[in-house]
Chain A
Amino acid sequence: MKNNKFQRIRLRVSSAGETIRFNAVCDKGYRTLKGIFVSLPQDKSILGSTLGFRLNNVEVLDDGHEVKNLTASNSVAPNNKFFLFPEKVDASNGSIEGRYSDGSKYPLLVDNGEDTGVFDPGKVDFKNLSGYGTNPFTVVFPYDVIINIWLTND
């Protein structure tokens, strides 16, 4: 038995702003979830996209966690591409519940109704402003997201 395994979870995103919930089970025989790397085919789709997940009902990354912080371009050395968790995350019998949201509709802008952390002084309806077509960065759909999780026996 090897001590490292890169498990992949593949999601298909069909439309701008889509949210995908997914469930997965960590491959058996590994004790620790060491890191995560999210692979996206288009750079334009990174900004504003979020990925949160819970492992065995404990939140590891909240739903608003930006995919930007979990990915890296080809300029980054292969051994530095994964986001390594700041502590040991127990993955034995790990059951993952995740949520991926595409961010290309209104990059980084959230509806006030959904995110209480934002105070909108002017009650601006940004969806009607010039410069805010849907999908302004012209992300092409569908695209596949590959969530790579790094399991070890550390």
Chain B
Amino acid sequence: MIRGFRFQKVSLRISKSGQRVYFNTESHKDFTQLKGIALTVGYEGALYGSTFGFRIDEKEVLDESHEAHLLVFGNDVAPNRKMLLFEIPIPINSSKIEGIYTDSSLQDLLGNASYNPGGGIISKNDVNVKKTYVSGKEVVKYSNFQVDGFQMLSGSGFSIGGYSVTPAPVTVVYYPYDVKVTLLLTR
């Protein structure tokens, strides 16, 4: 016998600044609805500018530029509210679940000068500079995660769309840190 709900979890390890970790897994076969999602991150400083994208059956739920800190719920939130809850549950049926966590991805964009003098909208191509959901590697099965070891050269500029970028200083983060993804499934 199993219960009518289950918290399915995925752990990711972020080993270096700017790292992108992609995972894909399958929703538990006995559950038909995804009702919520939350992240836990080991260090506060790691949250800002880091992003988390999420797809079910190759349909985007959270864009890759969705900020990780909006998915982390602290102690001042009631236990039943510590998730991003979907008012319309997402139907699942041994569904393909994909996520992509990018450490400090938005900091990389701060030096970008490719806009009008005051600033402007950052194009999706720049935000998803590391190419959403495409790793070029074989898709792997449950409990193995692909890691794309893209790494910024810290302190030196690198190029996005032809413009030189100097990353701004960020809050100190210890590496590695782990990110836990918790999904609430119901039958």
Contact = CB atoms under 8 A, between A and B. Distances in A.
Complex A–B touching at CB under 8 A? yes
Contacts of A82: 79
Contacts of B178: 108-110, 118
Interface stretch (B101-109, B121-129, B143-151): B143-151
Contacts of A122: 15-16
Given A84-B80, A118-B178, A58 B38 contact: no
B75 A69 contact: no
Nearest to A77: B78
A118 B174 contact: no
Nearest to A76: B78
A46 interface: yes
A60 interface: yes
Contacts of B177: 108-109
Interface string B100-138: 000000000000000000000000000000000000000
B3 A87 contact: yes
A100 interface: no
A112 B106 CA distance: 29
Contacts of A46: 75
A148 B78 CA distance: 15
Contacts of A131: 174
Given A68-B40, A119-B144, A121-B147, A73 B76 contact: yes
B65 to A, nearest CB: 23
> Considering residues B4, B75, B145, B184, which has the most beta carbons from chain A within 10 angstroms of its beta carbon?
B75
Given A46-B75, A118-B12, A124-B15, A83 B80 contact: yes
A37 B3 CA distance: 19
B3 A60 contact: yes
Interface residues of B, number: 43
Interface of B: 1-7, 9-13, 15-16, 35, 38, 40-43, 75-82, 143-147, 149, 174-178, 180, 182, 184, 186
Contacts of B79: 37, 69-72, 80-84
Contacts of B149: 121
B131 to A, nearest CB: 18
Interface string A40-71: 00010011100000000011111011101111
Nearest to A66: B40
A103 to B, nearest CB: 10
25 contacts: A60-B3, A62-B9, A64-B180, A71-B75, A71-B79, A72-B75, A76-B77, A76-B78, A81-B78, A81-B79, A82-B79, A83-B80, A84-B79, A86-B5, A108-B42, A108-B177, A109-B13, A109-B177, A117-B9, A117-B10, A119-B13, A119-B147, A122-B15, A124-B176, A129-B175
